[in-house]
Copies of this chain bind each other. A is one copy, B any other.
Amino acid sequence: MAKLKTTIVFDSGARIGPGKIALLESVRDTGSISATARSMGMDYKRAWTLLESINQAFDEAAVVAAPGGARGGGAQLTPFALELLERFRRIEQRAADLAAEDIAALAARARSEMGEKI
């Protein structure tokens, strides 16, 4: 089904959309940037760069190195990141709900595939 994509665009130009939110949720669930990168089909450097861009967008860090432990190398979300996830998913869900009727009306007129004619 057609769906609404929501992205928050901050004054700095920083953008938080479903891709970065999914990345944060994966870090929350796996505690690992490596595992997050694998699960999202991107290389470690790409995942790290995206997470660092989230950290740079705010005064508070979203992702930090997990404290010590034998294996080390882990990552975890800060309370601020958990708040960011909650607020984003709430916006996304509410927007999807309110847009459902308009989107369904447009989707009924949408082609199932692109490029059938030029």
- The answer to whether B114 touches A13 (Cβ under 8 A) is yes
Closest to A102 in B: B87
Chain A residues bordering chain B, tally (CB within 8 A): 49
**A75 to B21, alpha carbons, bound, how many Å?**
40
A-side interface mostly: mixed
**A105 to B90, alpha carbons, bound, how many Å?**
13
Enumerate chain B residues within 8 angstroms of A3, measured Cβ to Cβ.
8-9
- A: residues with CB less than 8 A from B are 1-16, 52-53, 56-60, 80, 83-84, 87-88, 90-91, 94-95, 98-99, 102-103, 105-107, 109-118
Show 12 residue pairs from A and B whose CB-CB distance is below 8 angstroms, ordered by the A residue: A2-B9, A4-B7, A5-B7, A6-B7, A10-B106, A14-B114, A56-B115, A56-B116, A57-B111, A60-B109, A95-B95, A98-B98
